[in-house]
Amino acid sequence: MAITLSVFAISLIFGTFFGYLRYKKVNRLVDGILGIYIDVMRNTPLLVQIFFIFYGLPQFHIMIPSVPAGMIALSLCITAYVAEIIRGGIESVPFGQWEAGRTLNLSKFCIFWHIIFPQTMRNVFPSLINQFAQTIFSTSLLCAIDVKDLMQQTTILNSRTFRTLELYVAALIVYYCLTIASTTVLRFINRRYFPSLSRRGE
C-alpha cells in the first residue's frame, strides 16, 4: 500500500499536468512527444516496462535499486493512463466555462485551478477510483524484480512449505480486502465531495 499510494500520488500530479498539456496543445513538439509516450506506455506490457527500467538501464550504466525502479516503472505507466483520464475530463467541461473565467479577467492558471479542475475531478473521479484499484494489482508484478511485496513473500513461503493453495488463497483474500477497503473509502469521498455526480448516477 505504501508503494501504491506513492505511485498514485506521483501519477496524479504528473498525469494532471500532462493531461492539461494534451488538451491545450500548446506546442506541436511537446504534444507529439506526450502522444508517443502515452501510446507506448498504454500499449506495451507493464512487466516489460519494469524489466526495461531494472534490467535494461544498467546497460547504460544507470543502476537503480529494485524498489525505486519498480516505483519509476509503475509511475510512468499509471501517469499515462491518468493523463488520458484527465484530458477526457477537461474536454467534458463546457468551453463556456473557460470563456466565463476570461470575462472575469482571471489568468489561465486561475481559470483552470478554480473553475475547470474541480469540474474535471467531479467527472473523472470514478475512473480514478478504478485506476487506483489497478495500481494495487500492478504492484504484484514487482515481485519479478525481487521487491519484497505480498506476492514475493507468498512465493518465498510457498517455496519453503509447498502449501500453494492455502498461501495463494490467502494472498488473494488480502488483495481483495485491500482493494475493497480502498475503493470504499474513495467512493465515500466521491459521495461526500462530489454529490452532484452521485445523484447523476442514481
* Cα torsion through 140, 145, 149, 150, rounded to 10: 50
Give residue 194's pLDDT. Answer: 76
**pTM of this prediction?**
0.88
pLDDT of residue 22: 92
Instruction: Categorize the per-residue pLDDT at 146 as very low, low, confident or very high, splitting at 50, 70 and 90.
Output: confident
Whether 200 has a pLDDT exceeding 70, the answer reads no
Q: Look at residue 196 and tell me whether its pLDDT is greater than 70.
A: no
The pLDDT of residue 73: 96
Q: Per the structure block, which three cell numbers stand in for 64?
A: 537503480
Query: To 10 degrees, what angle do helices 66-92 and 2-24 make?
Result: 40
> In this structure, are residues 65 and 54 in contact, taking their beta carbons and an 8 Å threshold?
no
* 112 in Cβ contact with 147 (< 8 Å): no
Whether the CB-CB separation of 133 and 126 falls below 8 Å is answered with no
pLDDT, one tens digit per residue, over 46-74 is: 999 999 999 999 999 999 999 999 999 99
d(CA 183, CA 4): 13
Q: Which of 104-108, 123-127, 191-195 has the lowest mean pLDDT?
A: 191-195
pLDDT of residue 104: 87
Indicate if the pLDDT at residue 184 is higher than 90. Answer: yes
Distances (CA, A) of 102 to 106, 150, 160: 6, 51, 66
